[in-house]
Amino acid sequence: MVGLATAWHLQEHGVDVTVLDRHGVASGASWGNAGWLTPGLAMPLADPALWAYGPRALLDPDAALSVPFRFDRSLWSFLARFMTHARRGAWQRAMAALTPIDRMALEAYDELEAGGVHATSHPSRWVIGFERERESVPFVHELRAVATAGQEIRLSRVPDGVRVPHLSRAVRSAWTLEGQRYIDPGAYTQALATSVGARGAKVLSDARVTGIRPVPDGVEVAVHGHEATTADAVVIATGAWLPDLAGQFGVRTRVQAGRGYSFSVPVEGTPIDHPVYFPARRVACTPYQGRLRVAGTMEFRGPDEPLQPARIRAVVNSVRDLFEGVDLDAREDEWVGSRPVTPDGLPLVGRTAAPGVYVAGGHGMWGMVLGPATGRALAGLITTGETPEEIRPFDPLR
């Protein structure tokens, strides 16, 4: 989503674009995520609650946070840096940095759809469920902090005694959040690629970039199985693999794969037509092609490691008692994808130390919602030389 949105907006500036995709459009994290366009929830991942939740989660096989017990100096170094940002002051500073682009996120989707991207984002209410009233307190507090930072947050408590269809009686506290949207992320990303191609771009699949180097007349790009090509500028938007290509250009911020899992399940009777979120279980559910997509887990492993079936079971176990009429054993589309997570919770968007080389990544869980706004801002930087205010805090050389 991030790379294609950048390509689309560069075309708006009259730039000829070639998109090099390693495996195929939406074959990575842009396919199986929850598809939430929720700027109201796009907040820093390193939260002070992690100091209490993290140690417990490491001992709970069904917890949303998963870290393999093995010697991995790079991973444990990342986690140490990540936890230094899990402080209230750091969270507030990161939230202030994210708010300007959060506020532009839905407008950026409107621009794509008005500009010929044949896909739809769906406005909807979110139903947010908790087993205990006290579990809602940290969540409500966070959303009030998001509102204080400058976003409109329309959060309401569902009155006691009002049942939400398909939620079990174990859900004793329910809330609704308005003003957000959702999409089918794979289909939307495919539609964006189709639009980019229809406007004249080359979109090459199975084009694994093996090297980038500045040359006198631009930037040379080496692609496995293809002839090298030269461009005026290159944007590295490779998600969790971003350091492989960007590290040589002064981008030192660690990007760790925070892997998410998802699957889809059938719903008895009337389908669920709105997203459902269980914050205490860290599970997000979205209407998906007549079924319900269930997504969860933050698993810190390498981006190319195989799917771990135990993580699917953990998601199922965590919500089995919270649903009625949802067949969690009739799973299809089991998937794992690698979100690119930075220690400070901020993306990496902008110039590198090499002329003509830019990066766009490190959005963590928010690459889908912030992708179009990121692409618009970065295209503006590339074509004008001026850094838009909304991406200024995301300097890749910080």
Provide mean pLDDT across the span 187-214. Answer: 96
Cα gap 3→21, rounded to integer Å? 9
Confidence of residue 398 (pLDDT cuts 50, 70, 90): very high
The answer to whether the Cα torsion of 124, 378, 346, 101 is positive or negative is negative
Provide mean pLDDT across the span 136-163. Answer: 96
The set of residues, in sequence order, having a beta carbon less than 8 Å from that of 236 and lying 6+ positions away, is 212, 242, 245, 246, 352, 357, 358, 359, 360, 361
Give the model confidence (pLDDT) of 102-119 as tens digits.
999 999 999 999 999 999
Query: Is residue 54 over pLDDT 90?
Result: no
What ranges do the domains of the chain cover?
Answer: 2-394
CATH 3.30.70.580 fits 2-394, yes or no: no
Question: What percent helix, strand, coil does the chain show, rounded to 5?
Answer: 35, 25, 35
Provide mean pLDDT across the span 240-253. Answer: 97
Q: What is the pLDDT of residue 70?
A: 84
Beta strands, E only, the chain: 18-20, 36-37, 65-66, 122-130, 154-157, 173-182, 202-204, 209-215, 218-223, 229-231, 234-236, 256-265, 276-278, 283-288, 291-300, 332-341, 348-351, 357-361
Distances (CA, A) of 355 to 217, 242, 302, 387: 11, 18, 30, 15
Cα gap 8→376, rounded to integer Å? 8
Query: Is residue 57 over pLDDT 90?
Result: no
The answer to whether the Cα torsion of 73, 75, 81, 86 is positive or negative is negative
The Cα angle at residue 286 between residues 281 and 288, in degrees rounded to 5: 140
Give the model confidence (pLDDT) of 344-357 as tens digits.
999 999 999 999 99
Instruction: Assess contact for 7 and 375: CB atoms under 8 A.
Output: yes
Query: Is residue 208 over pLDDT 90?
Result: yes
Provide mean pLDDT across the span 366-384. Answer: 98
Provide mean pLDDT across the span 253-259. Answer: 97
Confidence of residue 52 (pLDDT cuts 50, 70, 90): confident
Q: What is the pLDDT of residue 71?
A: 84
Distances (CA, A) of 346 to 6, 101, 255, 332: 18, 11, 11, 33
Q: What is the pLDDT of residue 60?
A: 84
The Cα angle at residue 339 between residues 16 and 39, in degrees rounded to 5: 80
Considering the entire predicted model, what is its pTM?
0.96
Give the model confidence (pLDDT) of 72-94 as tens digits.
899 999 999 999 999 999 999 99
Q: What is the pLDDT of residue 61?
A: 83
Closest CA to 67 of 314, 259, 317: 259
Out of 21-30, 192-201, 254-263, 331-340, least confident range: 21-30
Out of 49-58, 274-283, 306-315, least confident range: 49-58
Query: Is residue 59 over pLDDT 80?
Result: no
Using DSSP, state whether 396 is helix, strand or coil.
coil
Query: Is residue 362 over pLDDT 80?
Result: yes
